[in-house]
Structure 1
Amino acid sequence: MKINKYNTLVFTMLLGFGLSGQAQTKKWTLEECVRYAMENNITIKNTELDIKNAAIDKRGAIGNFLPSVSANASHSWNIGLNQNITTGLLENQTTQYSSVGASVGVDIYKGLQNQNTLRKANLSIVASKYQLVKMQEDIGLNVANAFLQILFNKENLKVKTEQLSIDEKRLTRSEEMVNAGTIPRGDLFDLMATVATDKQNIIIAENSLLISKLSLAQLLQLKEFTEFDVIDDTNAKDENNIMAQSPTDIYNKAKEIRTELKLAQTNLEIAEKNVAIARGAYQPTLSAFYNFNTRASYSQIPVGATPNLDNPTSQIGYVQGTNQSVLKDNYTPVLGNAAPIVDQFSDNKGQSFGLQLSVPIFNGFSVRNNVERNKVSLEKSKIDLEQKSLDLQRNVYTAFTDAKGALNAYESSNVTLEARQQAYNYAKEKYDVGLMNSFDFTQSQTLLTNAQSDVIRTKYDYMFKIKIIEFYFGIPIVPIITK
């Protein structure tokens, strides 16, 4: 039984190490990087919150059409001389009162401000969604650029490593040739310096690769990025044949689909609604209201009267001519408890309703100034839309020209590399038979290395330029998922 437990423990540990190793060796594709960024990038999350705020503003705009309802209740103690709300008499006593009320108000006409505010809220939601898509597109391009930078640094490191391997083999062979007296010892020192330089170049290339990986990992908001790596996709082809399109065709397509133009157009429509809302303050407003209230008192109330035995009568005047006194009987009121609270609330109900019209006459130019400010914002929105269109045209033509230049540079660098490779092979043959010194051979080798680096650089520059052209033509790196 102990053996079985031990075997199980060992198997579990090995499985854990195996899974850990698989997790560490996972390589991300470009599509995985972009999708992960869409879901986790902080800037995108912040933009998504703007959509929620716009939805809240829309609910507020809808609420402007609904009646406003409020209720109130109070209970008070009155001490000293005050009016009994039940009898209407002034009495020097302590009383308690309760009152309950409710009011309803609704706008009937408000210069179409509520309608325009709701239309503006709907446009704001659309604008927020466009802003989110634009942010996703920008992040996608940034991720693609960072992804290609890693691939460039990988190939560059590979070239540097291969160069070091070649030079170390040459150094070993040169040591044998020096010992045999075939070449001078000075050539050996040159090769030792070359090997040392190669090692420095590898360190620089490794640091560049590490920094590029770190940059992409941070762009993806990865918490664990020490083992982060991407797949080695080095295909430099125009798979969508985008370069077959003319710049004019690309620009015309971009005008129809580019998010920045849609966003600018929506912002223009929002500015128009702001002007309409501001102008609505010039017009009269009509509202309706309804009020309800009731009250109750806890004081005793008169319920009858009894003759005043201590002072049964009192004189109230004289008969004209006879001067005979006119007397009245004096009574003492009999007090009883107040009616039940529920009955008082039912008996003391009161209601009021009506219409209220407000006509603006003069308000210190505040409405006029607000309209003028919104008109200025509207003109700015028109200019912004026009500028966005001009920028898009310039960017498309620039990107197309850059892509053509990058393709020409890539093709030329391949031709140069092939020539440098042949020159290096010829120099190596001469060096091996002692017809070329170490310095000249090293120069040939340096030119070959530079040519290899140029091929790598121009290849990834061309790949990124193609991504930009596809971006303007409406071919996303990965399909954008809107929420």
Structure 2
Amino acid sequence: MKINKYNSLVVALIVGFGLSGQAQTKQWTLEECVRYAMDNNISIKQSELDIQNSEINKKDAFGSYLPTVNGSASHSWNIGRNVNPVTNVASTETTQYTQLGVSSGIDIYKGLQNQNIYRRTKLSIIASQYQLVKMQEDIALNVANAFLEILFNKENLKVRQEQLAIDEKRFSRSEEMVNAGTIPRGDLFDLKATVATDKQNIIVAENALLISKLSLAQLLQLKDFTDFDVIDDTNAKDENGILLQNPVDIYNKAKEIRTDVKIAQTNLEIAEKNVVIAKGAYQPTLRGFYSFRTSASYSDILTGQDASGNPVYMAPDPVLDQFSDNKGHNFGLDLQIPIFNGFSVRNNVERNKVSLEKSKIELEQKSLDLQRNVYTAFTDAKGALNMYESAVVTLEARQQAYDYAKEKYDVGLMNSFDFTQAQTLLTTAQSDIIRAKYDYIFKIKILEFYFGIPIIPTITK
């Protein structure tokens, strides 16, 4: 039989997990998984780097208050006829010229833009911190969901394995009853098909468990996940009484603590600062400046010949003396008054006003989304609780029906087909209650999350 690439991958992963089962496997609790994700998840690390960038931007903004100081130095050679930069006399000679200088400047007034930019960077740091918390919250919920999915698949696999064991025993007993002539041979064929179906269901359950483990291991950024497993430390109870709360109270609490709203509020404040900064460009700017410079030159100036006919050159002044004699200072104020700049300032102000309106709408939308999500989470949690309670009642009824059918089957008052139907309904009820249990746990954790109860005691650093 031809096996496609996907099946080959699944088989390889199953073999890998099977071989690793001989070694000691660490079983992770939900809290351990969440904490490990906080320290190793790539998205969280990126958010932490965003905070560092915001801190650097704050240092840049603070630096705009300080004066600028720059030094300069140059050395040049002028060959041929040129003007000596020191003597200002044109001559044909080779001149070397050295110039040294230092300059400084400081903003005295700039339409309060520097101050507002600094305040904006502080808001950006707060926004980055909120983004980190939101990323941690999202990762924690994703980890909890993946964790509970593993628990469901483990319980489901256990049910399938127990069912197979029961059917195999029943098949062996039925063989004895067929040989004894108690039941017809046709019932044995039905049981054989049932056992084969049970084995197929186990393979499907094993694959689902494997994929769910792989998903959580990748979410945790685990490099070696062959020995990865989890342990059930959850409880299908509303331990914090969250369902006793009023949805309005949960929503009001969520408005105070949810980072989605805080991020939108901070972005609104940043947009307001951007408008103020843009308007600052309408105002004149005043800047103070100071510079110091000095220079020295050297040139071979022919003054005559000596008694032997050799050329005689004039010796230049000592370099240090030239630097001392050629010192110069320059200082003053530079006033710039914007008059017309192609509407660039006005357009920039209008552009930032549009962004401000968008931020207001975004904040309003986040509040509406939060309200809808809270009420949806509350309704889902209530519904999940009802489903779980109904599943418990259904399982009890299916178990009683199965026990009764088994008694009838054992004494030959029920055929194999009807008994298999009762058994199938029991297995379905067992799977349904497992699914309802972990769905209820996750829905409760989401509702607690909106009420300010984290997945683990603390997820922020």
Whether these two folds match at TM > 0.5 is: yes
Q: Note the C-alpha offset of 1:97.
A: 1.1
Segment of structure 1 superposing worse, 165-174 or 238-247: 238-247
Q: Note the C-alpha offset of 1:79.
A: 1.7
Corresponding position of 1:404: 382
* Structure 1 residue identity aligned to 2:247: P
Corresponding position of 1:144: 144
Q: Check whether the contact 2:31–2:456 (CA below 8 A) recurs between aligned residues.
A: yes
Structure 1 residues 421 and 375: CA distance shift in structure 2, 3 A: same
Q: Note the C-alpha offset of 1:64.
A: 1.1
SS of residue matched to 2:203: helix
SS of residue matched to 2:329: strand
Segment of structure 1 superposing worse, 168-177 or 338-347: 338-347
What is the CA–CA distance in structure 1 between the aligned matches of 2:128 and 2:161, rounded to whole Å? Answer: 49
What is the CA–CA distance in structure 2 between the aligned matches of 1:203 and 1:472, rounded to whole Å? Answer: 38
Corresponding position of 2:453: 475
SS of residue matched to 1:24: coil
What is the CA–CA distance in structure 2 between the aligned matches of 1:387 and 1:291, rounded to whole Å? Answer: 55
Segment of structure 1 superposing worse, 419-428 or 291-300: 291-300
What is the CA–CA distance in structure 1 between the aligned matches of 2:233 and 2:342, rounded to whole Å? Answer: 68
Residue in structure 2 matching 1:359, options 337, 343, 348: 337
What is the CA–CA distance in structure 1 between the aligned matches of 2:255 and 2:446, rounded to whole Å? Answer: 15
The within-5 A match list for 1:111-150 is 111-150=111-150
Percent sequence identity over aligned pairs? 78
Corresponding position of 1:275: 275
SS of residue matched to 1:363: coil
Residue in structure 2 matching 1:463, options 441, 447, 453: 441
Q: Note the C-alpha offset of 1:388.
A: 0.4
Q: Note the C-alpha offset of 1:84.
A: 2.6
* Structure 2 residue identity aligned to 1:363: N
The within-5 A match list for 1:287-298 is 287-298=287-298
What is the CA–CA distance in structure 2 between the aligned matches of 1:361 and 1:22, rounded to whole Å? Answer: 81
* Structure 1 residue identity aligned to 2:69: V
Corresponding position of 1:159: 159
SS of residue matched to 1:353: strand
Segment of structure 1 superposing worse, 268-277 or 90-99: 90-99
* Structure 2 residue identity aligned to 1:411: E
Structure 1 residues 165 and 37: CA distance shift in structure 2, 3 A: same
Q: Check whether the contact 2:293–2:328 (CA below 8 A) recurs between aligned residues.
A: yes
TM-score, length basis structure 2: 0.92
Larger Rg: 1
Structure 1 residues 49 and 72: CA distance shift in structure 2, 3 A: same
TM-score, length basis structure 1: 0.87
* Structure 2 residue identity aligned to 1:74: S
What is the CA–CA distance in structure 2 between the aligned matches of 1:215 and 1:56, rounded to whole Å? Answer: 36
- CA-to-aligned-CA distance 1:214-233 (integer Å, 9 cap, x gap): 00000000010011000123
SS of residue matched to 2:28: coil
Q: Check whether the contact 2:136–2:459 (CA below 8 A) recurs between aligned residues.
A: no
- CA-to-aligned-CA distance 1:222-278 (integer Å, 9 cap, x gap): 010011000123521111111111111111111111111111100000101111111
What is the CA–CA distance in structure 2 between the aligned matches of 1:23 and 1:40, rounded to whole Å? Answer: 25
Structure 1 residues 435 and 481: CA distance shift in structure 2, 3 A: closer
Corresponding position of 1:316: none
Structure 1 residues 366 and 203: CA distance shift in structure 2, 3 A: same
* Structure 1 residue identity aligned to 2:229: D
What is the CA–CA distance in structure 2 between the aligned matches of 1:22 and 1:259, rounded to whole Å? Answer: 45
Q: Note the C-alpha offset of 1:49.
A: 1.3
The within-5 A match list for 1:336-355 is 336-355=314-333
Structure 1 residues 22 and 32: CA distance shift in structure 2, 3 A: farther
Q: Check whether the contact 1:168–1:195 (CA below 8 A) recurs between aligned residues.
A: yes
The within-5 A match list for 1:364-383 is 364-383=342-361
CA-atom RMSD in angstroms: 1.8
Corresponding position of 2:190: 190
Q: Check whether the contact 1:133–1:480 (CA below 8 A) recurs between aligned residues.
A: no
What is the CA–CA distance in structure 2 between the aligned matches of 1:346 and 1:22, rounded to whole Å? Answer: 86
SS of residue matched to 1:229: strand
Corresponding position of 1:326: none
Aligned residues: 436
Structure 1 residues 292 and 139: CA distance shift in structure 2, 3 A: same
What is the CA–CA distance in structure 1 between the aligned matches of 2:100 and 2:437, rounded to whole Å? Answer: 81
1:415 aligns with 2:417: no
* Structure 1 residue identity aligned to 2:150: I
Corresponding position of 1:238: 238
SS of residue matched to 1:434: coil
Q: Note the C-alpha offset of 1:297.
A: 1.3
Q: Check whether the contact 1:87–1:301 (CA below 8 A) recurs between aligned residues.
A: no
Structure 1 residues 69 and 482: CA distance shift in structure 2, 3 A: farther
Corresponding position of 1:74: 74
| Runs of 5+ unmatched residues, structure 2 | 1-19, 305-311
What is the CA–CA distance in structure 2 between the aligned matches of 1:87 and 1:161, rounded to whole Å? Answer: 104
SS of residue matched to 2:79: strand
Residue in structure 2 matching 1:447, options 396, 403, 425: 425
- Over 4 Å off, 4+ runs: 20-23, 300-303
SS of residue matched to 2:88: coil
Corresponding position of 2:48: 48
Corresponding position of 1:98: 98
